Amino acid sequence: MAELTALESLIEMGFPRGRAEKALALTGNQGIEAAMDWLMEHEDDPDADEPLAAPLGHTLGREPTSSEQGGPEGPESSAGEGKPILSEEERQEQTKRMLELVAQKQREREEREEREALERERQRRRQGQELSAARQRLQEDEMRRAAEERRREKAEELAARQRVREKIERDKAERAKKYGGNVGSQPSPTTEPGPVPSSPSQEPPTKREYDQCRIQVRLPDGTSLTQTFRAREQLAAVRLYVELHRGEEPGGDQDPVQLLSGFPRRAFSEADMERPLQELGLVPSAVLIVAKKCPS
């Protein structure tokens, strides 16, 4: 059975003549399979149908004659018989084989493209996982830094409270030494002749407990200080706050201050300094007046 040429086979399979000639020329006339591979790989190229200049030599798709190859049959072959004509059955059979070959190449191409798509998807998922892990590490670092900052602030707050307590204790010791050297010589809260708040308006509410109180302190120079204290803090904490913030006066050491309430008028004693603000009726808010202690 006679065989079709590569160019005729490609045309039989439905490829345009110009594109088939170009495929054969660019693959070096290495056969129909090489040409088909080129056609399938470049079927979407915008210049696939542009004509290609024919090279010198034999015609594309036609096997060179014996005279062109310089074979021994030279003159006889040039005058020989033409190409045998294929019967319809032979043409159909050869076309069927070519179509099967085309289908096989198409399957191979689809499988290759599917593998490439799967690889791209795996790469995309791997990059997404790496990005998610990086974001999680960043969030964990931020949470760790925030926790460390909170611990540092809490430690600083505890240290500040401790310094205030130590200052109060030193202040009590210095005052005890200055006013007699014996704390026991000071009048006890039970024998203190000072007034005790008896009016219901001076006592903290019985149905509601306040955790904090706002104290406004008026200084002798007309300025005022405002600070929030815990309801269970001692009045000495307010006096210490005033002594730390009232400003330095010329002349060396400053005299201790005396705290007075405005309404009703009341002077707080040393014994009151150890009583909670809530017990003294200063919760939830109060206005105190600072006056220098008069020398006894």
Domain boundaries, the chain: 6-42, 212-247+255-292
C-alpha 62/C-alpha 5 separation (Å) is 6
- Mention every residue, 6+ apart, whose C-beta is less than 8 A from residue 168: 234, 236, 237, 240
Beta bridge partners of 258: 291
For 203, how many CA atoms within 13 A lie in the half-sphere containing its CB? 8
Residue that the structure tokens 């040393």 belong to = 270
pLDDT at 256 over 90: no
C-alpha 254/C-alpha 295 separation (Å) is 13
> What pLDDT does residue 36 have?
83
**What is the radius of gyration, based on Cα positions, of the chain?**
53
User: Region 86-90: what's the mean pLDDT?
Assistant: 72
Give pLDDT tens digits for 260-269. 887 778 888 8
* Angle at which helices 17-26 and 32-41 cross, to 10°: 110
> What pLDDT does residue 100 have?
80
User: Region 233-243: what's the mean pLDDT?
Assistant: 90
The two beta strands, 285-292 and 257-261, are antiparallel
The answer to whether the beta carbons of residues 260 and 269 sit under 8 Å apart is no
Instruction: Of 52, 44, 60, 54, give the one whose Cα is nearest residue 10.
Output: 60
Comparing 82-91, 125-134, 146-155, 224-233, the range with the smallest average pLDDT is 82-91
Residue 184 confidence class, pLDDT cut points 50, 70, 90: very low
Q: What angle do CA 181, 182, 185 make, to 5 degrees?
A: 125
At the top level of CATH, the class of 212-247+255-292 is alpha beta
pTM of full prediction above 0.85? no
* Virtual torsion, Cα 131, 132, 138, 141, nearest 10 deg: -140
- Mention every residue, 6+ apart, whose C-beta is less than 8 A from residue 261: 268, 282, 286, 287, 288, 289
pLDDT at 76 over 60: no
> What pLDDT does residue 71 have?
42
